[in-house]
Amino acid sequence: MEFNLERFEHLAYSRQVELAARELFVLLHNLDANYGVLQNFRADSLKAMQIDPDTVDLHVLTRVAGAISALISDPHFTFSDSGFKQVTRLLWVGQERTKESFAKFFAMIGKPLCEKVEFVCSDMWQPYLEMTARHCPNALNILDRFHIVARMNKAIDEVRADEARRMTRDGYEPVLKKSRWCLLKRRENLTGIHPHFLLTNQEKSLSADTTTNRVAA
């Protein structure tokens, strides 16, 4: 699905809240599918405005933010999809990214409501995880997959570098050099030489357990 910036702005500013909400859903879906990268969007006005390519994302997101502000300020703003309908509103904004600041949100909604929360979506910042577990004991904390993938990639690369140094130190051929992108690629993107490379190095007992421990840490 393609997000159309001009269409979204028109719908948001003309208070066509239901259609605007659906267009916003397309944007959020695309951002999620592309790990936060702005892709699959149409903005015909950018060509006429001759926007610097390096600032396109900032320009688009600034306009999106303005339209979203207009959209959610409408008291009748709702979001529905496949028959599901609920009122959507911003509940709270913290001034600082600290446990003390975050605790104010739970204090605001109260313990009875906290215990009714079923799902929480957050990144892997430890205070988020700790405070959610403490105040919402019945909630499933769904982690942002962007940060999971980022941590996994970092762990794999660290282990690869450690193993490359160990193999060189132990007198083995440094086959892991320049293998970073081979190891990080998706299976469907591997070229003809990659499966052979991975199969060959599987016999060299690379530290899979170490990678798992680093991701979990």
- Please list the pLDDT of the chain residue by residue as tens digits (217 residues): 788 888 888 888 888 877 888 888 888 877 777 766 777 778 777 777 776 777 777 888 888 888 888 877 777 665 544 333 444 556 777 778 888 888 998 998 899 999 999 999 888 888 889 999 999 999 999 988 888 888 888 888 888 888 888 878 888 776 666 666 676 666 666 665 544 454 444 444 455 555 455 555 5
The whole-number pLDDT of residue 214 equals: 55
Closest to 117 (Cα-Cα) out of 92, 135, 97: 135
The whole-number pLDDT of residue 202 equals: 47
The whole-number pLDDT of residue 77 equals: 63
Q: Which residue has the tokens 């599901």?
A: 84
The whole-number pLDDT of residue 207 equals: 52
Phi and psi torsions of 66, nearest 5°: -65, -40
Question: What b/e string do you get for 110-140 counting C-beta neighbours within 10 Å, with b at 16 or more?
Answer: eeeebeebeebeeeeeeebeebbeebbeebe
pTM of the model: 0.43
- Which residues share a beta bridge with 78? 87
Task: Tell me the C-alpha to C-alpha distance, in Å, between residue 212 and each of 107, 158, 207.
Answer: 36, 12, 9
The whole-number pLDDT of residue 129 equals: 92
Q: Where are the beta strands (DSSP E) in 11-164?
A: 41-42, 78-81, 84-87, 119-122, 140-143
The whole-number pLDDT of residue 147 equals: 81
The whole-number pLDDT of residue 196 equals: 46
The whole-number pLDDT of residue 169 equals: 86
